[in-house]
Amino acid sequence: MSEEWAPKGVDPTVPNPARVYDYLLGGKDNFKADRDVAEGVLRVLPETRQATRMYRRMVGRFVEYLVGQGVRQFLDLGSGLPTHQNVHEVAPPDARVVYVDNDPVVCTHGRALLAEPDRVVMVEADARDVDGILIEARKHLDLEQPVAVLMLFLLHFVPDEQDPYAMVAAYRDALVPGSYLVISHTAGDTDPERMGRLVDNYRQTGTPFRPRSAAEIMPFFGDFELIPPGLANGVTHEWPFGDEQDTMFWDEKWSKLSYSGIARKP
Contact positions vs ligand SAM (CB under 6 A): 17-18, 21, 56, 78-80, 100-103, 106, 126-128, 152-154, 157, 184
Please tell me the distance from the alpha carbon of residue 23 to that of residue 49, in angstroms, as a whole number: 9
68-84 in b/e form (b: 16+ CB < 10 A) is eeebbbbbbbbbbbbbe
Q: Between residues 127 and 137, which has the closer beta carbon with respect to ligand SAM?
A: 127
Between CA 7 and CA 17, with CA 12 as vertex, the angle to 5 degrees is 100
Q: Between residues 79 and 233, which has the closer beta carbon with respect to ligand SAM?
A: 79
Helices (H), the chain: 17-24, 32-44, 48-68, 87-90, 104-113, 130-140, 164-173, 192-202, 214-217
CB of 154 to ligand SAM, least distance (A): 5
CB atoms within 10 A of CB 27: 18
Q: Are 80 and 106 in contact (CB under 8 A)?
A: yes
Q: Are 187 and 213 in contact (CB under 8 A)?
A: yes
Q: Between residues 57 and 237, which has the closer beta carbon with respect to ligand SAM?
A: 57
Q: Between residues 52 and 73, which has the closer beta carbon with respect to ligand SAM?
A: 52
Phi then psi for residue 144, to 5 deg, are -85, -10
DSSP structure class, residue 157: G
CB of 13 to ligand SAM, least distance (A): 17
Chain Cα centroid distance, residue 241: 20
CB of 20 to ligand SAM, least distance (A): 8
CB of 85 to ligand SAM, least distance (A): 9
Q: Between residues 157 and 249, which has the closer beta carbon with respect to ligand SAM?
A: 157
CB of 18 to ligand SAM, least distance (A): 3
Q: Between residues 95 and 127, which has the closer beta carbon with respect to ligand SAM?
A: 127
CB of 231 to ligand SAM, least distance (A): 16
Q: Between residues 100 and 177, which has the closer beta carbon with respect to ligand SAM?
A: 100
SS3 label, residue 120: strand
SS3 label, residue 106: helix
CB of 208 to ligand SAM, least distance (A): 10
